[in-house]
Amino acid sequence: MTARTDDMAAALDVLRGRLAEIGYTPDALRRLLHVTFPDDVGLLNHAPAVERLAHDHSALATAVRLFFLEAGVTPRAVAAVFSRRDCAALVAAGVLRSRSGRAYARARIDPIGDQYFLSDRRLRACDRGALGLPGRDPVYPPGSDSVILRDAVVAADARGVLDLCTGSGVQAVQRAGHADHVVAVDVNPRAVAVTRMNAQLNGVGNVNVHVGDLYAPVRGQAFDLITANPPFVASPYARGPAYHAGGPTGDRVLRRILAGLDKHLAPGGRAFAISHVALRSGEDVAARATAWFRRFSGRALVLVLETGTAVDLAAAQALFALDRGLAAYAAEVRRWVAYLRRHRIRTVALLLIVAERGVRRGVEVVEAQPRVLPIPLSPPPAQRIAAWLA
């Protein structure tokens, strides 16, 4: 072990032990901040979320401020959560830093189910040096899409699982408890490094993580279960983070994932993916989905979870510009709308896609009481999927 990996191992031990001890859980976030999904707190409601905790000096509230709200806290508050030695371990590993008399988290930590996921920050600029990670392309913090996909997977315990576009490893690390081995792939080396850390943080030893383009690292291999949450936003920022843009129709990466299912799903195997699709006037989800699965030896269910117009998408996505003020937000909305108009995009839908390789054929599209973009989202569709698969 190098000194660096020693530092990291010590820090992960501290985090695992202490966060569980103080009750840093999804239930606690629901209770304290009324959030269901990790991205329920964004720039728009960040200040009220911080205020909700203003009079709470517990160790749990400090951890929520640091790791979920990405806010600065006093050194005294940190000392109530971590011993002096633990603090030193977290600073050495690039988890915490102090600036102008306040302590900050250099990465966020989302509790999901009974696991913890480190990733780059959502509400502050990415700290390139966080966790000693390589590269500059930020790692996607688990969002509502990640949680919906994770909760929707209905699969018997599998020998082999493949998680494409793994990001923080939120899908891969969760499935590891139900599989002999999991292979996780991401094109971003920083995401690969974070996924390895998250496997270690959660005490999971059967996840192999590879840098690569979709199926390239698993050529010739077939799996019982494939999960995928690809970049899917019909975004004018094609050169932004690798987790973001999915081309003007949203499905640029998804299409390649679905096209590879025949080769990489074992007979009877299942795949679960979540993605936007952006449609031009006259197009619909059914026609697009039929095209995706034209050559697939099996059946597919496509649940429509959200729908919206191009303007709805622009209004939701431009929110990141709010920290530069309302005029910047308005300019950003116009930029998105112009991009979507140029590509003749009229509507956008969020889809949860389930595919099963086998003798049953066909593509079924179901409107799962879609909500209008953006969030709040429809409730997780796990029950509907379970019924369909039965």
Residues that bind ligand SAM (CB under 6 A): 140, 142, 146, 149, 165-168, 170-171, 185-188, 191, 213-214, 229-231, 242-243, 253
Q: Please report how close the Cβ of residue 186 comes to ligand SAM at its closest, in angstroms.
A: 4
Q: How far is CA 159 from CA 152, 203, 353, in A?
A: 19, 19, 22
Q: Please report how close the Cβ of residue 273 comes to ligand SAM at its closest, in angstroms.
A: 10
Q: Please report how close the Cβ of residue 345 comes to ligand SAM at its closest, in angstroms.
A: 19
- Residue with smaller CB distance to ligand SAM, 38 or 86: 38
Helices (H), the chain: 3-22, 26-33, 46-52, 59-63, 75-81, 84-92, 144-152, 170-175, 189-201, 252-259, 261-264, 285-292, 310-317, 326-342, 382-389
Q: Please report how close the Cβ of residue 271 comes to ligand SAM at its closest, in angstroms.
A: 14
Within its chain, how far is the Cα of 321 from the centroid? 20
Q: Please report how close the Cβ of residue 263 comes to ligand SAM at its closest, in angstroms.
A: 16
The burial of 15, by beta-carbon neighbours within 10 Å (0-12 exposed, 13-18 middle, 19 or more buried), is given as: buried
57/387 Cα distance (integer angstroms):
45
- The 265-280 sheet, strands edge to edge: 207-211, 179-186, 158-164, 223-228, 265-280, 345-357, 298-309, 362-372
- Residue with smaller CB distance to ligand SAM, 186 or 251: 186
The residue number whose beta carbon is nearest to ligand SAM equals 167
- Residue with smaller CB distance to ligand SAM, 142 or 381: 142
8-state DSSP, 68:
I
- Residue with smaller CB distance to ligand SAM, 229 or 307: 229
Q: Please report how close the Cβ of residue 212 comes to ligand SAM at its closest, in angstroms.
A: 7
CB atoms within 10 A of CB 388: 16
Angle (CA) 149 146 217, round 5°? 85
- Residue with smaller CB distance to ligand SAM, 78 or 112: 112
- Residue with smaller CB distance to ligand SAM, 69 or 148: 148
The burial of 378, by beta-carbon neighbours within 10 Å (0-12 exposed, 13-18 middle, 19 or more buried), is given as: middle
- Residue with smaller CB distance to ligand SAM, 253 or 271: 253
The answer to whether residues 258 and 195 touch, using CB atoms and an 8 Å cutoff, is: no
Q: Please report how close the Cβ of residue 301 comes to ligand SAM at its closest, in angstroms.
A: 19
